[in-house]
Every structure is written in structure tokens, then in C-alpha cells.
Structure 1
């Protein structure tokens, strides 16, 4: 969303803030590794780059994903020393176990299909999808998860399989599938748990965000359930929800909507507590504080902020937020006067 020049900053968090790479990667599973590699690719601070690559290397060795292992080794380019080099013995061992596991799982699927046992077919296909997912074969995992949906015999099984399809679709960047299966899951049951509803709202919001439909994304983010909290960190953290939801609301809501859906929304305020800068921008906009100071804050954050600030704020600043800061008929001389008084 930002230009190539904007995607790299002198430091990932600003000159005055110490940057803890491990503390920043507050995710689970493959998403944590993806974030670490993102930091290593985008951050121009060599120490932070090496910290991210070192941690990613160790995390990947706890998985079965040899493709990611090769990628991180290529990115380190020998800069971390021989102990962070290509581990061919580990790769060969993983590949051997994968070949054996694939044969066993295919046998399980065939046996269940021969017996026409729907629940057995569903479990076997879901296990096959999990197997491919753990090895980083995301397209194959997606295919098995989708196939398993056809053999679900309970609402709970259906919802769980839809959530797996959504997870791998997000990683593949296939957001049309994310939106489709989130909608299907919402309609599949009348008794979804608050946690499941939160996950589905989050998935829909991310799909809208990817499509730059900021108001629709904001509406989903601000509906977020308290139950979600830190229980969907294989996809997002509370900081992400506060950042994305707050900026989408600032980009698309008028002041009445900001009050009703954001400022007076106790649950979403909990997420904004993780990003006080976003909360303050929303309050400044609502209270008609001078547009110059808000623009300056956005620009400062775009240049010096963390990666999600640099990409999202870079896009919003140029296309959405800044044009709206010429406040509703407010005269230019009034704005200059307000600035001079402050």
C-alpha cells in the first residue's frame, strides 16, 4: 500500500523507542514467522534484521517447513555464522517423514471412502490438510480442507473446517475465499460462540481491508468481541485490531459514527488501549482539533512508525484521511487562527 521508499524506515519503531523484535512478534505459528521475515526484509537497522532472522531460523526449525528453512538461510547469507546455515540432515529427515506420512494419510482417506464413513472421511481429509499445512504446502492444505467440508455431519465440525479454510486462505492471500467462507460460517449456525463470532468478524474485516473497502472493514472491526482478545494470534493481535480498526474508522466514519461506533464503544476501546496514538488521532478528529497537527502526527507516524503504521498510514494519509481533514466547511483562515493560538 505504501510506496517502495516508504516501506523502509531508519528504525522499525522510531528513533526514541527501543525495538524488541521478539516482543513485537506476538503471534503464534506461521504468522509469527511471517512477521519476523517481514521485519528482516523491511527494516534497515542491521541489528534488528539479524535478531529477526535469528529468531525466525529457530522458530522454523521447530516446524516441518523446509521451504521456509531454505528461505531464511538465503536471507541470512552467512551473516549469522555457520550454526544458522542450511541443515541438510534436518531437511532430509523431514522429507523422509513427509513421504511416509503422506502415504499413511492417503491410505486413511481411501479406507474411509471404501467404508462410506462420512465422519471418517472428514477426519482423514482434515488430518491430510493439517499435514500439508505444517509442511508449508498451503495450496494442498486448502484443497483438503475444502474437500473435508463436504463430509461434515455436525454444525460444529462445519464451523471448524470453515475456520481452517479461512486461515490458509489468509496466508495464501486469497481474500475472496476468506470473505466467502466467513459468510458461510456465519450462516451455518444460530448458536456460534462469542469467540467464533469474533474470529469470523476479524476474517471479514481483513478481507474488506485487503480490498480497500475501509468503511466495511471498520464496521466489522468495531463489532469485535471482547472474547477474541489474544485467542486468534495465529492471525491478528489486539494491537492489530486497534490499529486497523481505528485507522479504517478514521478514514471512513463521520463524527457521529465515530462517537457511536468507536468512542462510546467500550469493547473496541479496549483494543484501542493497545495503540494510544490511534485513539488520540480519533479524538482529535472528533473534537475538531486543528487539521495541521493531525496531519503532522500521521506523517510522523508514517515515516517513523512500525511496519503496519508505515503501510496503512501511508495509504490512508494520501487517499483517505488527509482529504477529510479539511473540516466540513471550516474556513482556511479559521484553521490558521486555531494553529496560531496553539
Structure 2
């Protein structure tokens, strides 16, 4: 019997060799309570990610992923989960490959696909548009459940010629958006969400709009457009509605985390206060994640080290999030840079010792980080390595005002010269007039006009 600790170490050595993210610290969430907030195919995706990345939750997450796969129809997902658990937990019952389930599921999927395709052919022969639409939708749902996402996209796309109401258009768009999220095609997520945003549906508008803004936010986040994604998440209204309609992919807690982190990384203190803390609709989401609200409040209040400390304590949780994981290093770096810059604003000179106490880990120095920020242009400052001081250039409002006045005068002079030149050209009758619009070159050269090719009255009679 293999040693469980050795097996886990071997598994994560493989993950590191493949360039995967390895999270050594334990997250703050309980795995069972965390995954119970989600439904649909995202449950497996999140469990598998946690199993591949978290040393603490690895075996438990992979076992839950195997169980989740066995409760569905996607054979490939079961193979992925089993391939991980057989290395990380070879002594677990889930490490035994269930060949009977695989064969039975493959046969069942093929039979169901054949049945749905036969029904769809019958609907097409009878030319019943509503039945054809529903037949394509049923086939798309089945193919999505079995993991054939490309086939599901084709099936849902074939629904379009047979739709007759705005609700049907929205349903097709939502299917395509969901598939695009699963396939990580962020451009298609935004494009399909935009297509259905122009179709008002008064009956479900309070449900559709939160869904669209959430999906657009996820798509923009996937593309690295952090500020646009922040605005999209901040515009979501109705935490209760979001809970009921969006947990196939995200929960209201996720909306609070995504919106709060993106806003911290891209907005200044004034914007954070107005658009995040004082915005009534987003306050309802922040109540679900109080630590995000505290971090934003600390930043707005100028307590930057406290803000960073809160975020660092939740780094492990965010590295195990399926949508945040690859963006966390960039977002945390941007937030940290903003904190350092804002910390230096009131001072003209700060000792490195003070900076180290505020931002550096115990026993380390922030000097090299400051050098990198200065070189990149993120920080306007100078470092005195002898006296260990960080000095920032003094603001010179008088010089800035004079420069602005000179630039205005130069612009006025240029505009005046252009106007005088134009007036001189007109007075000397040197203006080159273009041909009249609506005539071809042949008509202009021959003197022909529209009347030349006008039909004769006799011909019209």
C-alpha cells in the first residue's frame, strides 16, 4: 500500500513540471459547503481545479470530482478525474477504474443521441417549426451533458431559423454564452451576450440583465480587461436574483469578490468610494464577503498595509477560483503598486525602514521592488542608497500652470495662422472646387446631366 503523503508529493511534482499552480496554504472555505453553492457542469470544473492545485484539499476534491463525474454522462471528465486520483490517492476506492460504468454510459449516450436525431428528422419532415426548435434544444442539452460542446453549439445555433419570440432569442443566446464560458472562448461570450442584450423581455428582464452583466464581466475578465469587467460586475443588481439564476457559473459571493478585486486594481480612492462602497446595489453583494468590503474601506481610508494584509490572507482561496486563478498575480501586483504610490503621496521623503515596516515581509526589504516600479514608470521617486531614503519630486503647480499657459498660447497662434491663411486663399480666388456630387466623370466631361438619361414620357406611358 502506497504512502498517501508520498503519493500527493509525487502528484504535485508532476503538476509543477507541467507548469500548474500549486497552493500550499489551506484555504479558508470548507470544500463541501463551497461546492454546494454551485450547480451544473461548473461543479466538476471547480472540484478538479482544486484537486490539481491545493495540497491540503487535493484528495478530497478529486474524490468529489470522480463522484460528480459518475453522476453525469461525460465519460471524458471521469477519465480526467480518475487519471488524477490514481496518482494522488492510489489507495482510495475512487482510484479503481469503473469500466462497466464507462461502457454503459457510452452506449446509453449513443442510443440517446440516435433517438433525439431521429425525432428531429421527423419534426423536419413534418415542417413543425416549434417542434424543430425544441428538438434542436433537446439535442443540444444532451450533447452538452455528454461533453460534446462543439456539437452542442451547432445544435443550439440551428434553433435560430425556427425561433418566433424574443424569449426564444434570449434562450438561444444564453445557451451559446454558457457554452462559450465552458470552452473559455471569451470573445464569443461577450459577442453572444451583446446579441441578446438588445431584446427586451419585460417578464424576465430582472433575471436576464443580472445574467448578461455577469457573463460579460466573466468574458472581460478572461480577456484581461479588468476595468471594463469591474464596471460590468458593479452594475449587477439584485443579489437574490443572482443567487437564483447564475450559480451555474458564479454565485453572488463570487460577484462581490470579482467586482471588489477588479475595482481595487483599477480605480482610484474617489471612484472606489462612490462606485463601490456607496453604491446601494453592490453593497448587497459586499455584505456576503465582508473581508472585501473591509479591504476596500482600508484602502479608501489610507491604511494600505491593512488592505494588503487582508488580501494576502485570502490569496489561497482566490488561487483556487476557476476564473480568478491566472489573474491573481497581476491583480495583486497592481493593487500593491497602487498602495505604495498612494502611501508616498503625502510625503516628500520617507525612510526605507518605514517602507519596509509598512509593505515588506518580516526580515526583507522593499528596495528592489521600488527600483522595479521606478524603472517601469509606475512610481515617480528616487532612492538614496547611502542614507536609505525614498524621495518623491515636489509638486510645482506654478511651473505646471506656466507650461499650460504656453501650450494654450501656442495652440491659439497656430489656429490663428491657419485661419489667416484660409482667408488669404479665398480672397485670392485660389480655392480649388471639387466636382458636384452625383455625376460620373463622363457626365462631367460631356456636360451631361440627370435629364440626359431620364426616361421619355412616351416610354413611361
* TM bucket normalised to smaller: 0.7 to 0.9
Equivalent-residue separation in structure 2 for 1:229 and 1:332 (angstroms): 48
Name the residue aligned to 1:85: 96
Say whether 1:195 aligns with 2:207.
yes
Structure 1 unaligned segments of length 5 or more: list them: none
SS at match of 2:242: coil
Cα deviation per residue 1:296-340 (whole Å; 9 max; x = unaligned)?
A: 44445436765237654322122x222222118332647949x78
Equivalent-residue separation in structure 1 for 2:211 and 2:30 (angstroms): 27
Structure 1 residues 113, 5: closer, same or farther in 2, change over 3 A? closer
Scaled by the length of structure 1, the TM-score of the pair is 0.88
- Among 7, 10, 24, the alignment partner of 1:10 is 24
Equivalent-residue separation in structure 2 for 1:10 and 1:100 (angstroms): 45
Say whether 1:294 aligns with 2:307.
yes
Equivalent-residue separation in structure 1 for 2:104 and 2:157 (angstroms): 29
**Would you say how many aligned residue pairs link Structure 1 and Structure 2?**
329
- Superposed displacement of residue 6, structure 1: 9.1
Contact 1:202 1:224 in 2 (8 A): yes
Say whether 1:235 aligns with 2:249.
yes
Contact 1:301 1:313 in 2 (8 A): no
Name the residue aligned to 1:324: 338
- Among 273, 282, 303, the alignment partner of 1:268 is 282
- Superposed displacement of residue 141, structure 1: 0.9
- Superposed displacement of residue 280, structure 1: 1.3
Say whether 1:69 aligns with 2:54.
no
- Among 212, 219, 223, the alignment partner of 2:235 is 223
Say whether 1:154 aligns with 2:186.
no
Contact 2:221 2:229 in 1 (8 A): yes
Cα deviation per residue 1:189-226 (whole Å; 9 max; x = unaligned)?
A: 25242111111110000111111111111111011121
Equivalent-residue separation in structure 2 for 1:266 and 1:61 (angstroms): 43
Name the residue aligned to 1:314: 329
- Superposed displacement of residue 165, structure 1: 0.9
Equivalent-residue separation in structure 2 for 1:140 and 1:242 (angstroms): 34
- Superposed displacement of residue 116, structure 1: 2.5
Structure with larger RCO (C-alpha < 8 A, sep 6+)? 1
Equivalent-residue separation in structure 2 for 1:245 and 1:278 (angstroms): 9
Say whether 1:143 aligns with 2:154.
yes
- Superposed displacement of residue 173, structure 1: 0.5
- Superposed displacement of residue 11, structure 1: 2.9
Equivalent-residue separation in structure 2 for 1:200 and 1:305 (angstroms): 23
Equivalent-residue separation in structure 2 for 1:312 and 1:330 (angstroms): 31
Structure 1 residues 37, 24: closer, same or farther in 2, change over 3 A? same
Name the residue aligned to 1:284: 298
Q: Which has the higher Rg, Structure 1 or Structure 2?
A: 2
Contact 1:242 1:274 in 2 (8 A): yes
Equivalent-residue separation in structure 2 for 1:230 and 1:312 (angstroms): 27
Structure 1 residues 332, 40: closer, same or farther in 2, change over 3 A? farther
Contact 1:149 1:162 in 2 (8 A): no
Cα deviation per residue 1:84-113 (whole Å; 9 max; x = unaligned)?
A: 422111111111122221122112222222
SS at match of 1:225: coil
Equivalent-residue separation in structure 2 for 1:292 and 1:332 (angstroms): 19
Equivalent-residue separation in structure 2 for 1:102 and 1:210 (angstroms): 33
- Superposed displacement of residue 257, structure 1: 2.0
Equivalent-residue separation in structure 1 for 2:106 and 2:316 (angstroms): 43
Equivalent-residue separation in structure 1 for 2:133 and 2:123 (angstroms): 9
- Superposed displacement of residue 20, structure 1: 2.2
Contact 2:167 2:201 in 1 (8 A): no
Contact 1:298 1:313 in 2 (8 A): no
SS at match of 1:196: helix
Structure 1 residues 170, 311: closer, same or farther in 2, change over 3 A? same
Equivalent-residue separation in structure 2 for 1:177 and 1:57 (angstroms): 30
Structure 2 unaligned segments of length 5 or more: list them: 1-15, 359-461
Structure 1 residues 274, 176: closer, same or farther in 2, change over 3 A? same
Q: What is the root-mean-square deviation in Å for CA atoms of aligned residues? A: 2.5
Contact 1:43 1:49 in 2 (8 A): yes
Say whether 1:24 aligns with 2:34.
yes
